Chain A
Amino acid sequence: MKLFVDGIGLCGPGLADWVQGAPILAGSAMYHPAPVTLVPSELLPPAERRRMTETVKLALAVGSEAVARSERQAEALPSVFTSSGGDGATITDILEILASEERGVSPTRFHNSVHNAPSGYWSIATHSRESSTSLCAHDFSFAAGLLEAASLATSETKPVLLVAYDLPYPAALHAARPIQSIFGTALLLSPARESRSLATLTLSLDREAAETTMPDPALEALRIGNPAARALPVLAALAGGAPRRVTLALMAGNRLTLEVAP
């Protein structure tokens, strides 16, 4: 499958957006991890904005950045959202309430807890009635989302927005599933080259190649510490501007190999 990258969104520690983060990922600027600040998307009306969880803020921020760079209309884009942990903070709130005698789960908290909440808010924010899916594949969630987004763009011959995000869990779940940082990224994948296309991705499945890692130890720690940050080698190749091969791990010994070409 051959796709063109028309837009990129990025948000992580010390990687505020793609414009600031790309030189770091390309190796031409130093990486300094710094806390992530998430702001509610202005795409949503104030009432919905107040209900936005950190998870939804993160997903909408990187999705908006990728779409803005592509100069496409978000309304016309099918989307694929992917996350390992979903909204751990909201789920923990519910688990604590259910463990109490009272059990009064709030309606807003309940609808915010579903894995597809960011996808729902995105479609409301962008007025998009196009298909949108929400995936999970544990540590392989980014690669699974990329595989699905590429398949969808190829079969529908339409550009597709991929949004990947994961946030640390609150303490109790964190002990069992340590996600170390906030990280989100988005790629706008088009089946045809446009004047604004940034790079070409050629994807294939195999079972042999070794997983690509990050040479910088701090960026490698970020990659290992957050399932969405498994995207970093792809983002580094896109930032680097030279042809490169990147291999991502999928479940059950499968590999997703990408030829990234400017």
Chain B
Amino acid sequence: MLTITMAIFIPFLAAILVPFIYKWKPRMIGWFVLIVPLVLFAGLARFIPTVASGKTMVNTIQWIPSANIHFTTYLDGLSIIFGLLITGVGSLVILYSIYYLSSRESLSHFYVYLLMFMGAMLGVVFSDNMMVLYVFWELTSISSFLLIAFWYHRKQSRYGAQKSMLITVSGGVAMLAGFIMLYAMTGSFSIRENIAMIGEVTDHSLFIPAMILVLLGAFTKSAQFPFHIWLPDAMEAPTPVSAYLHSATMVKAGIYLVARFTGVFGGDAVWFYTVSIVGVFTLFWGSFNAVRQMDLKALLAYSTISQLGLVMSLFGLGSAALNSGYSENSVFYAQATFAALFHLVNHSTFKGALFMVVGIVDLNAGTRDVRRLGGLMSLMPVTFTIALIGSFSMAGLPPFNGFLSKEMFFEAMVAVRHLEFFSIGSWGTLFPVLAWLGSVFTFIYSMIIVFQTFFGEHQPDRLDREAHEAPVGMLIAPSILGLLVVAIFFFPNVIGDYLLRPAMAAVYPSLPQIGQAMDPIKIWHGPNMALWMTVGVIIVGFLLYISLNYWRSLYKIGPLRWNLDSVYNGTLTMVERGSTLLTNTYMTGYLRHYLVYIFGFFLLTVAGTMFIVGGFTFDFSNDAPITVNEYILVFVMMVAGIVMIFVSSRVTAILLNGVLGYSIALFFVVFRAPDLALTQIVVETVTTALFLLCFYFLPKMKKEKVVRASKVTNGIIAILAGTLVTVIALAVQGNKMFDSISSYFENAYELTGGKNIVNTILGDFRAFDTMLEVVVLFIAGIGVYTLIKLKARKEGRDVED
């Protein structure tokens, strides 16, 4: 039996195995990887009946209990939809990629990143603990960075990868801050507990900031205006990646977050307005800009932006249902959420298929530029059919699933006008207008995809390759998606009953009965407002499409040309220039300057703090008497220290330094700390040897001509730093601020079976510290190694500047 925790880790484990399988059977690697999402999909699908009957599953593994961070996985209606999309579309994408990527590519990297991404996405949607969710969230950003930069020798790929990473990671950090604020309010990192408790703290001063910060995370991830600018550049990734990350999964993590946190923040006016307005504007802006794209993939990127905006706005509108308790009104508003979930699934099917189609056209015709394409219908009949299904579904035409969810979308938008709270007034009319306009442009660009690529005149001389149909294997994945598009139209309530209704209960945890109250999805719902809007979309869209050549130049007019990319680029250049300037001023290349900064800072902050809090109080009454041995040792150390300043040979200085180290070891012996003494002796031996090794080859020490003034400054700082440390050491004796923690270790023998308390602390009580220290040590070692050994080893591949 597959548990959800296992489902998250399986992709990561598989990722570790990939390089080995790749060595063994490089050509079969894709098929091996394909097993992972297939198994996961099947495993998750088995939970559908359980979830549909209203059950949820929670599984907790203690991770860092002291910080309230547990690895809690949670399976409910909402997470299972996403889980199925991630693994289902994941399987199809991997199947497609087997044929798409040539075996000359570094396939093992590709699949490692892809599996990493898949695991991270599953982690995001199944985690109940916000900190764990955050970890996986950023992991999706990192793995998608690696995937976008897969063809890293291209400048544009690196640019796109960096852009997506910068934007999504900064959003993620904002989200982290929001999570911490939530924790401050409710004292729990668990999303479910937060939902249960949030009613008590909605008046908290942190409530709105936390909401905005969490929304920043969601908006950056799902490319909402004005953070949408990274998505078109992310199209530099190989097409399977675009199909997977940028239509079906990663960008939907933001949607997931909004859906999941509707239970926390929903019902508040700020949430309602922010989510729905940003969403509906993104819908309009994305579709408006999609029309002017000449590259099919860029067109799809903008179309994804607009469709995500559509889903986002629906979740925003649906959150109104939480404003009052369960009533006829709340069911009415919750229709929007139902539509959102439905469109989410539909979008994954038709957009996934369209991306794959564009990949096929790109690969088999050599270009994605619509100006050069045309007349491919007879050459690529299967691809054409899938493109037709996908585009018409996207445009919202029957008999495809996009029609159903778009009708529901229109109904929800029209319903906003009747809202009687949040003082929406006549502003509510703006929603259906923007939504309708967005849909008109959606219709236009959907037609561009089909007609400009597959109809018209075929111009073989303008293509890089002779166009022909793709191999059968490559057509399987998009065909399955195309079939789904049609199947969902005819049997929408299969999805509605088994996935969407349970998910409704997850979005509205306080209104569990709301999912069942939804009307079944109807293919024909009578001549209502929504249908007339669709008819309008078709007529106006058709007219605008025919006259495209006459008004496309509109995009070249002033304010429309202004774009956010230049803002992003400008900011980036400015930040780079600023930090270069700053760095150049303080990075002089002289170690002694850095030491001056470090010690100066240390003196200011520590001495300042001590002074302000009145830390300089001394109490020597409890001190032990000082013995002769100790006086001798101190004397030896002082002599060694003072002499070290005046010696002129490096070796002498190192040896004197060694004297200091060994004397400290002797101190440990005197104070009966054999463990420390041993460690100190060995460390001292090894470092002295290391120093000797390094310095043996350095040129003779030159008498430096140091300006007197700087010598004086250095002297003063050195003396002050020494004094401060001494004073602090003495003051510590006099200030018993905290209780001793020694009682914690007193019964070490009974607890750990070890008589050496130092080691029981290191290995048993504070093992986490030790483990991290070991990791740090290792990283330091590898750092030294790479710094010295791997001097600019050029790869064979040419890398553009």
A binds B: no
- Give chain A's interface residues, CB within 8 Å of chain B: none
